[in-house]
Amino acid sequence: MGKERVLTQEGFDRLLAWLDPERQRAGERYESIRRRLIMIFTCRGCHEAEELADETINRVTFKLHELDGNYVGDPALYFYGVARNVHLEHLRKPKPVPPPDSPSDTEAIELEYDCLERCVEQLPASQRDLVLEYYREEKQAKIDHRRKLAERMGIAIGALRIRAHRIRSALQWCVEACMEQTAA
């Protein structure tokens, strides 16, 4: 994304002071905004959600000299506006075209698939059923299916997303560990 900027301790302190005069509340506010930014980017299908959230925070921090004293309103809303621009830039950025699979790539894909199957089998039945149900369907059917799944479980759609994300993260870790063991 654009220029590489490094957030300094002085810049971070200034950001916290802008969010709230009390340092403890400012830290909580910062964490809340960062979590929300990550969620926004994740919901928009960005695989680099944390990096994009950090880029958004850096841009706001580097604009503080203009904002401090001039900006009126909730600082979180300013972050969300900057996040929109960061997302649009991310979409315009050309995506690298992957090279065609070679025979060794096919073997790696098969190994990864085998590891995934093993890891899914190791999950408790409730988690296995949830993740398999969560990733069923496509397009609008997927959205409707997830809404019905959340209703059936008696939880909000956001809570369902979080549960599925946690299971997927655990599966990803398990698959990576399995592949390392198999490659060794």
Is domain 103-183 in CATH 1.20.1540, yes or no? no
Interatomic CA distance for residues 48 and 100, integer angstroms: 23
Q: What is the pTM of this model?
A: 0.52
Interatomic CA distance for residues 19 and 86, integer angstroms: 21
The phi, psi pair for 149, rounded to 5°, reads -60, -45
Percentage of residues in the chain having pLDDT higher than 70: 93
Domain boundaries, the chain: 9-92, 103-183
pLDDT tens column, 103-162: 667 888 899 999 999 999 999 999 999 999 999 888 888 989 999 999 999 999 999 999
Contacts of 161 (CB under 8 A, 6+ apart): 43
The confidence score (pLDDT) of residue 82 equals 96
Which residue, 108, 171, 109, 103, is CA-closest to 134?
171
